Structure 1
Amino acid sequence: MSSVMELIVNPKYVNKFKQGYPLVHKDSIANLDKLKEEGSLFHLVDPTRNFIAKGYYGIQNKGVGWVLSHRIGEKIDIIFFKEKISDAMKKRESFYKDSETNTFRIFNGEGDGIGGFTIDYFDGYYLINWYSEGIYSFKDQVIRAFDELTDYKGIYEKKRFDTKGKYIDDDDFVKGERGEFPIIVKENGINYAVYLNDGAMVGIFLDQRDVRNVIREKYAMDKNVLNTFSYTGAFSVAAALGGAAKTTSVDLAKRSKSKTIEQFSVNGIDYEAQDIVVMDVFDYFKYANRKDLKFDLVILDPPSFARSKKRTFSSSKDYPTLIKDAILVTEKNGVIVASTNNATFGMKKFKGFVEQACKDTGTTYKIIESFNLPKDFQTSSDYPEGNYLKVLFIKKTS
């Protein structure tokens, strides 16, 4: 063990790591000063120097590293990465064979055994998201594993880290052939335009696949739909294809309008028959109230944290207010789709937000459906925070 640094686990965290918890937090380590170079391997040991697990040093917003193995003799090499990625691909075989869907997640970080990076598939192209310099140092092993495991059109990457933990905007192409963007991918038969070479976002959040599908299949027909924080309008497209009478997409970002027009267009939908509004969502709620606008289906999918010139939004603090605003523009017996990707609280607290908002507004309600991550977003029972997505379908009964 002398060739690998030893990190001494504080006593109260020893059993947690022994039971399989994969994320190494700063406060769990007694000798944090031992960590010098990201990407270096370490052994977690208890205060009497008994081996617990091995992992790598990589700083991201969640901690200082991830556990890779509980076997002291296991090598972290090309074979290790190849086996993990191969196992993950086998679990997604049904997705590879699905003629209606050709975009999905094939590797979901700690859920597939290696925290700190994810891999998404876009019709023959693979996109690797790196969340720390530490995991990025293993890039060569990951790419070699791909070369040995599968044929691909091309590989792109997103380096979602810098000294402030943000995205590094540079050439995202890794190898293979460069894509001609947008690539038009399919999800449950719906077309979406994606860009793997244009900043941190690609144009669609794959973790909302099941939610988009159920909106199209069960909730959209003949409905007046409001899609807030709409980004590229993916929910609006699903609703329109599900027979919505009309969709209204609202987002503060100026480019959201052209992006939403594009998503409607690649599905043959007349975007001029839809409303696409560039406006702060909270200002739009005020506008809708002044104009007495009401909707049958209201979709709330805000970022966990956002700051504009006017206000700061934190989902952990401000979501009840957001739901109250949505209630005021929702018809009786209408449905609010409340979604959050904030991993710092669970479904119980999220349902508490709904209860609080309805109580404050004197509204009765019924939760009629709920969703977490889809099955390609593999999670680990040892790390419940990894199942971050929480979606509630709330029927306003009065």
Structure 2
Amino acid sequence: MIDGLPHLLARRAHLPAQGTTFYRGVHTTETAGEFALDVAGDAGVLSLYADFSPEEEIELAGACGEAAGLAGIYLKRRPPEARHAANVERDWLSPPDPVWGEAREEVTALENSVPFLIRPGADLSIGLFADARPARGWVRQHAPTRVLNAFAYTCGFGVNASLGGAQAVKNVDLSRKVLAWGQENYALSGVSAPDDDFLYGDVFDWFRRLGRRGDTFDLVILDPPSFARGRAGVWRAERDYGRLAALAAAVTAPGGQIMTLLNHAGVFPTSFERMVRLGLEETGRRGRVLESLGAGEDFPGATHLKAVVWALD
């Protein structure tokens, strides 16, 4: 597999020329599920899905760095139980220093010519999810007047909605840290937004508060984690997404749209659409699928990401 890295990376060589310097350089389907390489400017992020010895990790990182012409490679160990161990084994799962080459604490990388701050050693999540690039591009091309970006993370969807002409964009997330990061992304694109466009707190609580205030939106974007623990209990997207869709429908204006995203390989597209449809029907709303988007071309064979745009009555 190491010998084939230059060939795999060459398939993505056109992306930087098209204004994208943050992308999946090597996808898991091309490595028998053992590893993946994300490229962010001159930094690389190597995700491991199999057991490698320390020597093998360094060898693989060096091969990826040299084949891609990168300055440094950061390591992310992603065993199946990583989502449960993230808080107690963070430094082992995501070492803060590069395993190969030079350190890059922060990189400004482009996605469809839009700049974003990537922090390759910060955590398992480095600031943007490359597989959602088509969905963010859709939002930029079709942004309506009022947008609610739920589970906003670093506000990639919010930035694109604003650049696409939306006049009001609300970004909601449970982490103040990532919302502040999102404000930095806004500033990189020269987009001004008041502080009250960045809503800190539980997304489900915010849906209820916005509903009580009578606020409605022309587009609601849902990009929740597939699994999370909170005060209200355990969230599992494959079980609970319908409830989320119902809450979103309650703040979606007549004739508005909802974009539903799910990163879960174990949920089939038909099952996902059925969950969302039933959730919408709970609120008396009917929706039809307007667009179905998957991961980008740099994720060949990927089935994990579902991104569906619904037109509501």
Q: TM-score, normalised by structure 2?
A: 0.91
- From 177, 181, 190, the equivalent of 1:268 is 190
Q: Using a 3 Å threshold, how does the CA distance of structure 1 residues 358 and 150 change in structure 2: closer, same or farther?
A: closer
User: Deviations for 1:167-205, whole angstroms, at most 9, x for unmatched residues?
Assistant: 5413331222222x4311111111101101212111111
Q: Which structure 2 residues correspond to residues 296-335 of structure 1 after superposition, within 5 A?
A: 296-335=218-257
Amino acid at match of 1:322: L
Tell me the secondary structure at the aligned position of residue 129 of structure 1: strand
Alignment of 1:9-88 (within 5 A): 80-83=1-4, 85-88=5-8
Larger Rg: 1
Give the superposition deviation at 1:312.
2.1
Partner Cα distance (2:203, 2:66) in 1: 47
Alignment-derived partner of residue 121 in structure 2: 197
In the alignment, the residues of structure 1 paired with residue 249 and residue 139 of structure 2 have an alpha-carbon distance, to the nearest angstrom, of: 19
Distance in 2 separating the partners of 1:394 and 1:216 = 16
Deviation of residue 372 (structure 1)?
Answer: 1.2
Offset at residue 236 of structure 1 (A): 0.3
CA distance in 1 between counterparts of 2:130 and 2:7 reads 20
Distance 1:136 1:391, change over 3 A: farther
1:208 maps onto 2:132 in alignment: yes
Quickly say closer, same or farther: Cα 1:289–1:156, change in 2 above 3 A.
same
The structural deviation recorded for 1:288 is 0.9
* C-alpha distance after superposition, 1:204-256 (max 9, x if no partner): 111110110111012x14x1100001111110000001110110011112212
Give the superposition deviation at 1:361. Answer: 2.1
Q: Paired residue for 2:27, among 88, 108, 111?
A: 108
SS in 1 for 2:218: strand
Q: Distance in 2 between matches of 1:366 and 1:147?
A: 45
Tell me the distance in 2 between the aligned counterparts of 1:162 and 1:317: 19
**Map of 1:225 onto structure 2:** 147
SS at match of 2:270: helix
Give the share of equivalent positions with the same residue, in percent.
28
Q: Is the 8 A contact 1:298 1:335 kept in 2?
A: yes
Return the match for 1:388 from 300, 304, 311: 304
State the AA in 2 paired with 1:310. Answer: A
Cα RMSD of the aligned pairs, angstroms, is: 2.0
Deviations for 1:268-322, whole angstroms, at most 9, x for unmatched residues?
A: 1113276101110110111011101100010000000111123321101100000
SS in 2 for 1:216: helix
Report the alpha carbon displacement of residue 341 of structure 1 after superposing the two structures with TM: 0.3
- Report the alpha carbon displacement of residue 150 of structure 1 after superposing the two structures with TM: 4.2
State the distance in 2 between where 1:144 and 1:259 align: 30
Q: Which amino acid counterpart does residue 279 of structure 1 have in structure 2?
A: G
CA distance in 2, matches of 1:306, 1:187: 28
Q: After superposition, where does 1:146-161 map in structure 2 within 5 Å?
A: 146=64, 149-161=67-79
In 1, Cα distance between equivalents of 2:186 and 2:175? 17
How far apart, in 2, do the equivalents of 1:265 and 1:232 lie?
A: 12
Give me the TM-score of the superposition, normalised by structure 1.
0.73
Does the 8 A contact of 1:252 with 1:280 survive in 2? Answer: yes
| Alignment correspondent of 1:125 | 43
Q: Which runs of 5+ in 1 are unaligned?
A: 1-79, 380-385
Where structure 2 has 5 or more consecutive residues not aligned to the other structure, the ranges are none
Partner of 1:177 in structure 2?
102
Name the counterpart of 1:354. Answer: 276
Question: Hey, what's the Cα distance between the residues in 1 that align with 2:70 and 2:226?
Answer: 33
- Which one has the bigger helix percentage? 2
Q: In the alignment, which of 228, 240, 256 is matched to residue 178 of structure 2?
A: 256
Partners of 1:296 and 1:150 in 2: CA distance: 41
Q: Please give the secondary structure, in 2, of the residue aligned with 1:257.
A: helix
Cα distance in 2, alignment partners of residues 148 and 294 from structure 1 = 50
The number of residue pairs the alignment matches comes to 306
What code does the residue aligned with 1:120 have?
D
2:187 maps to amino acid = S
Read off the aligned partner of 1:82 and give its amino acid letter. D
Displacement of 1:161 after TM fit?
Answer: 4.0
8 Å CA contact 1:320, 1:357 repeated in 2 = yes
Task: Sort the Cα spacing of 1:291 and 1:130 in 2 relative to 1 into closer, same or farther, 3 A.
Answer: same
SS at match of 2:99: strand
In the alignment, residue 3 of structure 2 is paired with which amino acid? Answer: K
Shift of 1:144: 4.3
